[in-house]
Amino acid sequence: MARDEEAAAGEGTGLLSEANGRRVDARKAFEANSAEASKNYHDKRHEGKQNEEAHQEEGGMLKPMIFGGLDGILTSFAIVSGAAGGNLSTQVILVLGFSNIFADALSMGVGEFLSSKAENEWILSERKREAWEMENYPEGEIEEMVDIYVERGMERSDAEKVIETMSKYEDFFVDVMMAEELQLQVPDEDHEIEAMKEGVVMFCSFAIFGAFPLLGYAIIPASFPELGEEMLFTAACVITGIVLFAMGCVKSLFSTHKWYLCGAETLLLGGACATVAFTIGQFVDALVA
């Protein structure tokens, strides 16, 4: 046990010295389960040897990237599956697929931007209301916060001390009220730029991933004209499965789950959606025929 702890500490020490004065990623200490590495990191940071604790800032764009990519590839494959189930031609599949993908990508990107912008504006309006209430009736706001902290397990005397201290700093206290009372995170001043970034990420993710199931129908007939449409659909299934699994693996970089579990989860859920689309295509084709 002691030897294991020494090994973990040694691994953590190596983790810190490895950077040679550069910022050390604190997340690596967490992933290595090394308390010693985490302690050394924070000690150096508080001594002024490091500027800021490193977190995965890319995770902020994870939602539009995964949501856009998954929506794009499943929308595209649903068209391919439904068209294959309905015995439509390759030309029809390509026209329907690409026109629908880029139209939907634009719609999703604009929708992501407008929804994020509207949500941030609403949060800021709530902050103005909280600031107005703090200015006009601070005693009531302070009492509300004390009650919240007491409900979470603090002694009332301790809660009163904490809240009384924080309330001296009005802007800070209003942000705390937003988080604790309303469970809302106050956006940054450049929230419109961030919302635009999310919209662009959504558009690009939807369009890029949505094009994958159609690539087989666009490339294979030109390279191998002797192959039938069943082979094209098989190629689309394989490509879609690989991309879905890869998306799940990428998602695991921002979570604590194993990469193969995230990949399998995304593959199974996406495959279930595609199966439904193919089945409905066959049913409608039989019904119309």
More confident residue, 232 or 13: 232
User: What is the rounded CA–CA span in Å between residue 82 and residue 249?
Assistant: 27
The arithmetic mean of pLDDT across residues 250-276, rounded, is: 83
* Helix 138-151 / helix 170-181 crossing angle, nearest 10 deg: 50
Look at residue 181 and tell me whether its pLDDT is greater than 80: yes
Percent of the chain residues past pLDDT 90, beyond the cut: 36
The arithmetic mean of pLDDT across residues 216-231, rounded, is: 75
CA distances from 167 to 128, 140, 181 (A): 16, 12, 14
The arithmetic mean of pLDDT across residues 278-285, rounded, is: 78
Query: Contact 38/17 with Cβ under 8 angstroms?
Result: no
User: What is the rounded CA–CA span in Å between residue 145 and residue 215?
Assistant: 57
| pLDDT of 31 | 65
| pLDDT of 14 | 43
User: What is the rounded CA–CA span in Å between residue 6 and residue 267?
Assistant: 40
Q: Which two tokens stand for residue 131?
A: 């600031």
| 88-104 exposure pattern, b = at least 16 Cβ within 10 A, e = fewer | bebeebbebbbeebbeb
Q: H/E/C letters for each residue in 23-46?
A: CCCHHHHHHCCCHHHHHHHHHHHH
Q: Which two tokens stand for residue 165?
A: 């201290």
pLDDT single digits (tens) 243-252: 889 988 887 7
Least confident residue range of 32-46, 48-62, 211-225, 229-243: 48-62
pLDDT band for 12, please (50, 70, 90 cuts). Answer: very low
User: What is the rounded CA–CA span in Å between residue 64 and residue 203?
Assistant: 9
Most confident range, picked from 117-131, 208-222, 244-258: 117-131
pTM greater than 0.75 (yes/no): no
Share the mean pLDDT of the chain: 80
Name the nearest CA neighbour of 217 among 63, 80, 78: 80
pLDDT band for 259, please (50, 70, 90 cuts). Answer: confident
Amino acid (one-letter) located at 151: E
Q: Which two tokens stand for residue 31?
A: 């992933």
The arithmetic mean of pLDDT across residues 195-220, rounded, is: 89
pLDDT band for 105, please (50, 70, 90 cuts). Answer: very high
Is the alpha carbon torsion for 217, 220, 221, 226 positive or negative? negative
| pLDDT of 221 | 73
| pLDDT of 10 | 46
| pLDDT of 49 | 46
